[in-house]
Amino acid sequence: MVAVIKDRKEAVAGYLFLLPALGGILVFILGPVVAAIALSFTKWDLLTPAKFIGLSNYQELIQDPMFRKVMLNTLIFTGASAPLSLILSLGLALALNQKIKGIVVFRTIYFLPVVSSMVAVSLVWRWLYNPNYGLLNYFLNLLHLPSVNWLFSTTWAMPAVILMSVWKGLGYNMVIFLAGLQGIPQMYYESAKIDGAGKFQAFKNITLPLLSPTTFFVLVISIISSFQVFDQIFVMTSGGPAHATEVIIYYIYHNAFQIFRMGYASALAFCLFIIIFALTLLQIRLSKRWVFY
In a domain, 20, yes or no: yes
**Per-residue model confidence (pLDDT) at position 278:** 96
| Together in a domain, 60 and 25 | no
Same domain for 30 and 120, yes or no, is no
230 with 93, same domain: the answer is: yes
Residue 104 belongs to domain spanning:
55-287
Q: How many domains does the chain have?
A: 2
Q: Same structural domain for residues 34 and 59?
A: no
Residues 14 and 135 in one domain: no
What pLDDT sits at residue 53? 95
Tens digit of each residue's pLDDT, the chain (293 residues): 555 566 788 888 888 888 888 888 888 888 888 999 999 999 999 889 999 999 999 999 999 999 999 999 999 999 999 999 999 999 999 999 888 888 888 888 989 999 999 999 999 999 999 988 899 999 999 999 999 999 999 999 999 999 999 999 999 999 999 999 999 998 998 888 888 888 889 899 999 999 999 999 999 999 999 999 999 999 999 999 999 999 999 999 999 999 999 999 999 999 999 999 999 999 999 998 899 87
HEC string of the chain equals: CHHHHHHHHHHHHHHHHHHHHHHHHHHHHHHHHHHHHHHCCEECCCCCCCEECCCHHHHHHHHCHHHHHHHHHHHHHHHHHHHHHHHHHHHHHHHHCCCCCCHHHHHHHHHHHHHCCHHHHHHHHHHHCCCCCCHHHHHHHHCCCCCCCHHHCCCCHHHHHHHHHHHHHHHHHHHHHHHHHHCCCHHHHHHHHHCCCCHHHHHHHHHHHHHHHHHHHHHHHHHHHHHCCCHHHHHHCCCCCCCCCCCHHHHHHHHHHHCCCHHHHHHHHHHHHHHHHHHHHHHHHHHCCCCCC
Question: Residue 5: its pLDDT value, please?
Answer: 67
Residues 174 and 96 grouped into a single domain: yes
- Does the pTM exceed 0.95? no
